[in-house]
Amino acid sequence: MITALAVGIEVGNRVGGSLSGLRWPKDEPPYYEEATRSSNNSAIFGAVAGAGKLLGMSENQMRGAFGIGGTTTPIPGNVKWEYSQNVNLKYGCWTGWVAMLGTVAVLATEKGFKGDGTILDGEYGYWQMYGSPFFKEDLVLNDFGEVWYLDKINFKAYPACYINHTAIMGIERLVRENDIKPEDIDEIVVYADPIQNTPNRWPAEIKTQEDAQFADAYLYALGACYEGPPGPQWNLPISLNNPKVRNLMPKVKVKSDPKLEEILTEKAKSGGVTVFWNSIVEISAYGEKFTKEVAAPKGSPANPMSISELEEKFRHNASYSVLSGNVVGDAIKMIGELEKLGDITKLTGLLAVN
């Protein structure tokens, strides 16, 4: 199980990194351009690799499963989602389908279905189907088995899009450190990636979890109002309809971070992923302006969550489920000693809902 997880994360990250993301690198300044199509659907190769490893597939079987998985990948619909309102295409088209299709590809192969073992190769390979302008094969193969992505995982401290996390952190800190009351805030300005101003992040109405989890004004207003650990309650009616949050939302603005061009250009020139986490938060209250800059989200390799923080997050989230406290404690202990667990169904059985 541990090996399958490591292999799945490694393969998914390497194939994903070899293709275009939200921004495409260029050879001249500013060394990147905004993508017209992108997604994380290439993670299907990680799903296939992990599931195939669990079933002990041969090399030829794994090749075939990659072929089935690759040719059934959903289209790269990220940009369409960004320019839509009140439509959650991101997780509907990616996470659920990709996880399921990766598993189905492996099971189909096990039953004798044949897939194209050259799915990544050649002029008509997966990168063309995916809509990427390039395929960086060296990023898939270089240092394979020596350099691992497993220790570069980002954990989420907040139930929101990761691009919002540094601003939420900055808002929480300013409110706490300066004892700012939500009702006394005149304005919240967030300087961040301008992608936060696409229509999907400013929905016409917020009634459900799907509306809320990418809505900048809601998330930043909630960050200023909410006391206690973040979790499922952020997306429940008690928060969605909180009058303090609702009153503060019209006072939220998002503008481009002045460091955006410099940071993204440097990342693009060095061959890095052109994502932008940095946020500068400015809160106007009591006739003053309070400012905080946060560069790395909590839970990222640059600002990691401790094991105890991850355990507490699990306990808090699980407290909104039907699992009892004893079951949650037993599960945490098993996960902490996973390498000693002889039968994984002891863990999955604990977490199953009867």
User: What is the model's pLDDT at position 93?
Assistant: 58
pLDDT at 56 over 90: yes
Report whether 44 contacts 27 (CB < 8 A).
Answer: no
Q: What average pLDDT is seen over the chain?
A: 91
Angstrom distance (rounded) from CA 34 to CA 78: 12
Q: Which domains does the chain have, with CATH numbers?
A: 2-152 (1.10.4100.10), 162-294 (3.30.1330.120), 307-351 (no CATH)
Region 249-275: mean pLDDT is 85
Q: Which two tokens stand for residue 297?
A: 């989200």
Identify the band that residue 249 occupies on the pLDDT scale cut at 50, 70 and 90: very high
Residues 169-189 pLDDT 10s: 999 999 999 999 999 999 999
Identify the band that residue 278 occupies on the pLDDT scale cut at 50, 70 and 90: very high
Region 96-106: mean pLDDT is 91
pLDDT at 192 over 80: yes
Residues 116-156 pLDDT 10s: 999 999 999 999 998 888 899 998 999 988 989 888 889 99
pLDDT at 231 over 80: yes
Region 28-39: mean pLDDT is 78
User: Smallest Cα–Cα separation from 53: which of 106, 114, 92?
Assistant: 106
Amino acid letter at 260? L
Region 71-83: mean pLDDT is 84
Identify the band that residue 76 occupies on the pLDDT scale cut at 50, 70 and 90: confident
Question: For the chain, first and last CA: distance in Å?
Answer: 24
User: What is the model's pLDDT at position 17?
Assistant: 87
Angstrom distance (rounded) from CA 230 to CA 228: 7
Region 235-245: mean pLDDT is 95
Q: Helix 95-110 and helix 44-54: axis angle, to 10°?
A: 40
Element (H, E) at 243: helix 243-248
Region 30-44: mean pLDDT is 82
Identify the band that residue 238 occupies on the pLDDT scale cut at 50, 70 and 90: very high
User: What is the model's pLDDT at position 88?
Assistant: 65
Report whether 81 contacts 90 (CB < 8 A).
Answer: yes
Angstrom distance (rounded) from CA 321 to CA 340: 27
Cis peptide bond upstream of 30, omega within 30 = yes
| Residue 258: burial class (beta carbons within 10 Å; 0-12, 13-18, 19+) | exposed
Residues 310-347 pLDDT 10s: 999 999 999 999 998 899 999 999 999 999 999 999 99
